[in-house]
Structure 1
Amino acid sequence: MWAHTVVAAMGRRRSAVAFRGHGVARTHGESRDRAVRFAHALGTGPGDRVALVVEDRADGVEAYLGVGLTGATAVHVNDRLAVPEIAEVLARSGAGTVVVTAGHVERLEDTLRGLDVVTPSRYRDMVAAGSTAVPRTPGDPDLPGIVGFTSGTTGRPKGVVHTHRNLDRIVRHMPAHDGLRWGSRCGFTGTLAFVAGIWGVVLPHLYVGGEISFLAGLDPERWVGTMIAERTNFTYAPTPLMTAFADAVRKRPAVLDHLDGVLHSGSLASRDAVADLVDAIGPRYVETYGMTETGAPVTATVPDDWRAGCAASDPYASAGRAVPIASVSIVGPDGEPLPAGETGEIVVRSETLFSGYLDGAPAGDSVRTGDLGALDDAGYLYVRGRSKDMIVTGGMNVFPAEVEQVLALGDGVAEVAVFGVAHPRWGETVTAAVVPRPGAAVDTAALDVLVRERLASYKKPTSIHVVDALPRTASLKVRKDELQRRFGAS
C-alpha cells in the first residue's frame, strides 16, 4: 500500500532525478522500474519477512520499495551495528531473506550463512530484466509493513511494527509536516541506518517527486557547498554539527536563496545551539519530537515560533506544539495529568502510532514515552530527558537536560552529558562529561561557577570530566550508562 503510493508518484516524474551521490544519478523512472522488477523477482508475499542491511544508496531504497510492493514485511536493520548485534536482530526478526549492500557482504558472511541472501550481484541480476508492471496491492493493509528496532541504550532493542496502512498515512502526512514543496530537493545528512529517516524523509521526498542527495559524512563546509551547487530545499542538522553548520551558512549565505527547511530531531540540542542556528537560517528551522513508536513526529515548531510574538515561554528550548494529528499530555507517577509547568512523563496520542511490538502485545491508543517533559501555558513541549536518567540526590529530583543547558553555555563547550552516579550519603550525585570545541580548552572551575549562579546548589555537578567524545549508540544517542560505569568509581 505505502510502496504502491510512492511508486505511483515516481512514475509521474520519470525523467526527474530521484537520487544523487556515490557517483550515481538515478531518475525516478529508473528507480521505479528497478523496484518493480525486484518485487517480481523476489517472490515474497504477505506474511513473509525480509531483512535489509543496506548502506546509503539508491539500491537500498529501491529494495525497501520492492519488498513493500510484494506485501511482505521489511525488517530494518541498522547497518552501523556490530556483527553480533546484527546477528541478534536477524535471529529475532524471523526473516528468511536478507538484502545486503556491498559494504556488508564480507563482514556478515558467517552471520548470513543458511539464509536466502540477496547480494549486490544477485540484486543486479534481479533488476536487469522482467516486467515493469506494478503488482496488484496484495494482502491485508493492516499486516506489518516495516519493523524498526529501538536504540536499546538499556536492555534489548524492541521491534516496532508499523502496518502498510500506517506507513501510507505517514508518507502522505510528512510533506505537510515538514513543508515540502513539489519536487523538493533534499540534502540527506541522515542515513538509511535510521528507520525514521526512511519513512520520515526519504519516502516522503519521493512521494512529492523530489530528490535525495546522500550527504552523510560531509563536513559542514562541503555540506553547504554541495547544497548550493544542487540548489537544495531541505536538509537535516544532526545535533553535533549544528553550530558548525550555522557557521558554514554564515560564510556562504547563498544557500538560503533556495533552502526552505532545516530539520532537527532525535536528540536534545542545547538552547544556545538552537538559538545560534535560528540566527543563521531564520524561520527555516524546524524542531520536532517523536519516536520510533509514533512513526511521524507528534510536535513541531512553525516559522512564526522564531518571530516576535511567539507564545512559547522559551521557543529555543521547546520542541514545538502538538501537530494536528497528535496530542501530548504530561502525567505524574499515578498516571494523572499534571498542570502546565510541572515535569512528568510525556504521553502521546497520534494517528500514526505503531501497531505493537514484533511478536508481542498490540499497542494501545496512547504511548507512555518514558521521556520527561513539561508543557507551558501555550501548549509548547519542553523535553527534560529520559525518566530512567533522572537523578535523585538527597531526595531531590534533578533533570539532566536542565543542567546540560547551563553547562552548554560555558566557554569552549561543544557537547555535554549529565548523569547520576552512586553516592554513599546522597544516593546519587550529579556528574557531567563535557567535550571541548576543536582547539578550545574547558575551564571546569568556571563551569562550576556558572552552574552555581543559575541553578540550585543540589543541581550542581560534584565532578565535571573533560572527554574527547561522548559515547553513543549506533543511532547517535549518548550512552549515559557507559559514562556512569566509566566515572562511577570516582
Structure 2
Amino acid sequence: MSIDLCGDSSWVDEFLLDGPDTEECLFLDGPVRRGELRRLVARRQELLAGAGLAPGGTAAFCLAPSLAFVAGLLAAWRAGAQAILLDHRLTAFETERALEQLAPQVVVSPAAPYGGHLRGFHTVQERVAARAGGRPAGNACVLVQLSSGSTGPSKVIGRTAEDLVGELDRYTRMDGVPRRGERIVSLASMVHVLGLVGGLMYGLHTGAQVAIPARMTADGILAAVAAGGAPTTLLGVPFHLELLAAVAAPPPLPQLTGMTTGGELVRAQVHDAFVDRYGIRLGNMYGMTEVGVIATDLFGKHRPALEPAPGLVIREEGGELHIAAARSPYLGATDPSRWSDGWLHTRDAGTVEPGSGLLRVRGRRDSQVSVGALKVDLTEVEHTLAALPEVAAAVVVHGTVIEAYLVLREPGTLARVEAGLAEQLAGYKRPRVLHVVDRLPRTATGKLVRDPNVLLAVPDLEGNSTR
C-alpha cells in the first residue's frame, strides 16, 4: 500500500471500520458494535467539517480515553485530515504550549470538566472549535504524537497512513497476538503508540474486541477481564504489571491467557511474581513512538532477548540499535544524531545476535557512563537497587556523580539499602547520593522519569546520604 498525501482516507474504512454491523468491537461501560461506531464516526465527521476541517487539514484532540475520542479520531482520519494527539493529563499550560507549536486548525476538547484520575475511560461531551492561526498539514502525516519525554523534552513525531498500516501488518504476522473472537483488555493510553496501534487500531483491524477497564486499579483490571468469557490478553506497561503482581490472591480467571507489556524490561522479581500468581504467559514488547512495535518476546522464550518484528531491518552500530527508515519521523529540522542515511538511531544500547537476529536491549545509550575511566551501566545499578527488599521503586541518573532516587517500603531502612548495595555492587558503581522520596514522577504512559531536571524538584524526605 502506498499513500502519498494526507487527504487520502480510504485506508480508514478498509483497515479500521470494515466488518459486520453487529460485531462488538469495543467495550467501555457496555459493548459498542461496528454499525454504531460507524454512525458515531459519520456524525463526528460532520461536526469537524462544520468547524472548517477539510482534507489535508489538522485537528488536535485533547480528550481523555472515551468513545468520543475514538469516534473523533477516526472521523478526522476519514475526513482526510491530520490528527494531533495531546494527552488529557497535560496541564493547561503544557497543552497551550503544544497547540501554539503545532498550530492545528481545529481543536477538540471537553465541553465540561471530568474527574477521576484512576478511571480507565470517561463519558465526554466534546467541544469542536476552529483555532485562529491554524495551519494545514503540509506533509503526508496523518498522526502527530509527542514522545513520552522520560529522559528529556518530548519530540514531535509524525507518521503516515502507510506507516500505521505497515505496523498493523506487523502485528497480524506475529504469533501470540489476539485474533478475531478474542479480547484485548487494554491498559495502555490510547494517546500513545502502544495503546493506540497495539490496542485500539489492531483490535478494530483484526476483529478482536478491545475492552477498557472502568478503573485502572488492580481490582478494576481484574473485573474487566472477568466481564467477558472469550480468551483475553492484557496489554499494558510495567506499572500495570506491578499493580497486578502485588495482588496476593487473584480470583480464578480461566479466560486470561496472557499479558504483554511494552516499555522498559520487567525486573526479574516482578516477572516471576506475576507468572507465579496468574500462571499465564508474560510477553515483552520493545517499540518506539517513532516506529511502533520493533521486537517482541510474547511467550517469554527468549527473555531477555527479543525477536525482531516481521518486516523490520535492524542493525547494531557502535553499540546502538538502528532501524531502517526511509524518512525521518521527526517533524521540523532533522537531527542527524536521531536519523541519517535511511536509519533511525534509537539511542538504545543493544546488540543483534549473529545468525538468530535476536535483539538484546541494554537500556538507553545515555545510561552508559564513565566513572574514573570505568564504564558503568546505570540500568544495572537501577535494577540492583530496585530489587532490594527495602526498595519499592528507584531511578538512577548521572550528573557529576551517580545519584539514585528511591521510594522505601518502610521509613528508616536506608542503612540496610546502603549495606545491600555494598554487598552487590563494586564501589565505583554505587550511587554517591541517595535521595529518599515519597514517590517518583512518571510520564503519562507510566514510565519512570529519568530527566535530572524533573527529579531535582522532587522533595527529599530524609536528606541526602552522600557516600
1:87-117 deviation digits (Å, cap 9, x = unpaired): 12111212110112345699xxxxxxxxxxx
Residue type of the alignment partner of 2:347? G
Residue type of the alignment partner of 2:285? T
Q: Distance in 2 between matches of 1:379 and 1:467?
A: 41
Contact 1:288 1:319 in 2 (8 A): no
2:291 to 289, 294, 302: 294
Deviation of 1:379 after TM superposition, in Å, equals: 4.5
Structure-2 residue corresponding to 1:455: 425
Q: Distance in 1 between matches of 2:262 and 2:344?
A: 19
Deviation of 1:6 after TM superposition, in Å, equals: 5.0
Deviation of 1:376 after TM superposition, in Å, equals: 5.4
Q: Does 1:347 align with 2:322?
A: yes
Structure-2 residue corresponding to 1:384: 362
Residue type of the alignment partner of 1:16? E
SS at match of 2:198: helix
Q: Distance in 2 between matches of 1:3 and 1:186?
A: 26
Structure-2 residue corresponding to 1:99: 108
1:415-461 deviation digits (Å, cap 9, x = unpaired): 11111242xxxxx2x22222234xx4573333333333333221112
Structure-2 residue corresponding to 1:120: 125
Q: 1:33 to 1:469 in 2, by over 3 A?
A: same
Q: Does 1:393 align with 2:398?
A: no
Contact 1:76 1:195 in 2 (8 A): no
Deviation of 1:473 after TM superposition, in Å, equals: 2.8
1:18 to 20, 25, 39: 25
SS at match of 1:357: coil
Write 1 or 2 for the structure with the bigger share of helix. 1
2:44 to 38, 48, 57: 38
SS at match of 2:256: coil
Q: Distance in 1 between matches of 2:36 and 2:351?
A: 47
Q: Distance in 1 between matches of 2:300 and 2:223?
A: 28
Instruction: Calculate the aligned-residue CA RMSD, in Å.
Output: 3.1
Q: Does 1:358 align with 2:331?
A: yes
Q: Distance in 2 between matches of 1:214 and 1:326?
A: 30
Q: How does 1:44-123 map to 2 (within 5 A)?
A: 44-102=53-111, 120=125
Q: Distance in 2 between matches of 1:382 and 1:302?
A: 15
Structure-2 residue corresponding to 1:339: none
1:36-64 deviation digits (Å, cap 9, x = unpaired): 33224433333211111111111101111
Contact 2:185 2:213 in 1 (8 A): yes
TM-score, structure 1 as length reference: 0.77
Q: Distance in 2 between matches of 1:247 and 1:4?
A: 45
Deviation of 1:398 after TM superposition, in Å, equals: 1.5
TM-score, structure 2 as length reference: 0.81
Contact 1:191 1:216 in 2 (8 A): no
Unaligned runs of 5+ in 2: 116-123, 129-136
Structure-1 residue corresponding to 2:443: 473
Deviation of 1:357 after TM superposition, in Å, equals: 1.9
Q: Distance in 2 between matches of 1:18 and 1:249?
A: 32
Structure-2 residue corresponding to 1:150: 147
Q: Does 1:483 align with 2:461?
A: no
Paired residues, number: 426
1:355-380 deviation digits (Å, cap 9, x = unpaired): 53224449653211122234556544
SS at match of 1:326: coil
SS at match of 1:230: coil
